[in-house]
Amino acid sequence: MFKKILIANRGEIAIRISKACKELGISTVGVYSTIDKPSLHLRYMDDIVWIGDSPPLSSYLNIQAILEAAKKTKAEAIHPGYGFLAENEKFAKACEDAGIIFIGPDSKALSLVGDKVASRNTVKKLGVPIIPGMAMITKDLKKFKHAAKDVGYPVIIKASMGGGGKGMRVVYNENELEKSIAAGQREALSAFGDESVYLEKYIEQPRHIEFQVLRDNFGNCIHLFERECSIQRRHQKIIEETPSPALDNNMRMKMGEEAKKVIEASDYTTAGTVEFLLDKNKKFYFLEVNARIQVEHPITEMVTGVDLVRQQILIAAGEKITLKQDQIKQNGHAIETRIYAEDPDNNFVPSPGKILFLSEPNGPGIRVDSGIYQGCDIPPHYDPILSKLIVWSENRNMSIIRISEALKEYIILGIKNNIGYLKRIINSKDFAKGNYDTHFIDEHEEKLFPKQEKLDIALIAGALSKQAGYTKSESDFQKASTMKSTPWQELGKWEICSLS
């Protein structure tokens, strides 16, 4: 087993990984950029190394600095978390060359699953269903037109090296085709440094359902069932659940076996996720492989009882998977919501700043994977994810109620966040019915903004607070509220009612 692991990430996932390491008796090295010195993740590390200035390219994407930090601290392995260098084959290769174990699939497997057209072709050979579309890269408009006619409109243009919705264009008829290809190519070039695009049948009302797979260096491979991730905003998942309300047991077992085939064919090891689209007729299609621990991995942990990060580390250390497929059960239901520093009332603009007050939910069935503390500064340089709220309960209905209550108890003051917005999605009728697809957010946009309903109460609270300050003596109140007095400081309890 490793003695020391460097964690090349920040925020909640760095903490999550450090906890898994410590439970295995492995000490951890944290890394940080200049602005991250006071960040929470460093408090969970046995040693810390500065790797560069605040912009990601100077630090968390700085392969050289990270490798030097690993060498300096004698870390035997690097866990990349998600994002940043997690699926970067150059980084995996650099680790391999430096004799440091990259906790993830090797650079070859990464390269294969990273290229969408290549993996489509690999998967097609296995007999796993793929979305009908082009099997090769081309710039020839005729071939695009031909392929579009073949699969039938609407079609979708996608970047070959892409992800996150960049370079995507839906095309409803041949007239739009040329313009959309050109636009897709421009976006793909600027986002991925490669202008290749291809074309697929556009699946209407699709659900995004992915399967978690583990595979060791000895060829042992198991899946840990699905996660439904159809609640997305701008192609970013924000709410995930398992089991999916759309699958029955037959489909679940079938898709799980197909997912394993995909992972096996790529000679992929450690933890990976095979993403599928499910159309309105419950036909499923292979979408892509995510070659990392995913943001939403906790829901799988809650229902299966398997610690995925621990498994990743064990597999990377050369251990065999001891769990057998038939030992993995789905027990109960779990939901995750991602807590973001963003302003739903202002087009979801990122909202960095200082967290002035924080109170996180706890109690039965509640897990918070958090990267924040009261008083911390959320820097503008990185992903706006603050933490993840995950709940487990006996069934889907009880999980929905539980997470709705937990969101009410999640208090973050000082920066804008999406807690209320998440709660409105969770409490919507279509979510309760399990009747949703990836267009849920767009289709429910108006319903998700009925925020004014408690504005009156907020205004009353504001006025009472001012009134209390006033009767207590304006200057005291000023001091109390603007000098940022302690939350525990008793300003006295202003029994307003007893004042005339």
Residues in touch with its own copies (CB under 8 A)? 15-16, 19-20, 22-23, 37-38, 298, 301, 305-307, 331-332, 354-356, 359-360, 362-370, 373-376, 393-394, 398, 401-402, 405, 484-490, 493
Residue 19 DSSP SS3:
helix
Site for another protein in 372-391 (CB under 8 A): 375, 380-384
- Residue 441 near which of another protein, its own copies, none (CB within 5-8 Å, type-dependent): none
Told to judge if 292 belongs to the known catalytic residues of this protein, a careful annotator would answer yes
**Sign of the CA dihedral 95, 99, 100, 106?**
positive
Query: 141-151 vs 174-192: helix axis angle to the nearest 10?
Result: 110
| Beta carbon nearer to another protein, 38 or 363 | 38
| Beta carbon nearer to its own copies, 347 or 482 | 482
CA distance 156 to 106: 31
**Sign of the CA dihedral 5, 9, 15, 20?**
negative
For residue 34 the two structure tokens come to 């200049």
The 26-65 contact track toward another protein, x by CB under 8 A, reads -----------xx---xx-xxxx------x----------
Calculate the alpha carbon distances from 466 to 387, 435, 455, 491 in Å. 32, 45, 16, 14
The C-alpha angle with vertex 331 and arms to 325 and 336, in degrees rounded to 5, equals 105
- Residue 90 near which of another protein, its own copies, none (CB within 5-8 Å, type-dependent): none
Residue in 120, 227, 292, 402 annotated catalytic: 292
* # residues contacting another protein (CB under 8 A): 75
- Please name the residues in contact with 103: beta carbons below 8 A apart, sequence gap of 6 or more: 5, 77, 78, 79, 80, 270, 312, 313, 316
Nearest approach in angstroms of CB 449 to another protein is 11
Nearest approach in angstroms of CB 95 to another protein is 24
The reply to whether 411 sits near another protein by the rule CB under 8 A is yes
Nearest approach in angstroms of CB 107 to another protein is 25
Helix (H) or strand (E) holding 474: helix 474-482
- Please name the residues in contact with 295: beta carbons below 8 A apart, sequence gap of 6 or more: 13, 82, 237, 338, 385, 388
Site for another protein in 457-476 (CB under 8 A): 457-468, 470
| Beta carbon nearer to its own copies, 190 or 362 | 362
Nearest approach in angstroms of CB 2 to its own copies is 16
Please check whether residue 49 is in contact with residue 31, taking contact to mean a CB–CB distance below 8 angstroms.
yes
- Please name the residues in contact with 75: beta carbons below 8 A apart, sequence gap of 6 or more: 4, 5, 6, 29, 69, 100
The reply to whether 352 sits near another protein by the rule CB under 8 A is yes
- Residue 341 near which of another protein, its own copies, none (CB within 5-8 Å, type-dependent): another protein
Nearest approach in angstroms of CB 8 to another protein is 17
The reply to whether 198 sits near another protein by the rule CB under 8 A is no
| Beta carbon nearer to another protein, 140 or 495 | 495
Which DSSP symbol is given to 283?
-
The reply to whether 129 sits near another protein by the rule CB under 8 A is no
**Residues noted as catalytic:** 292
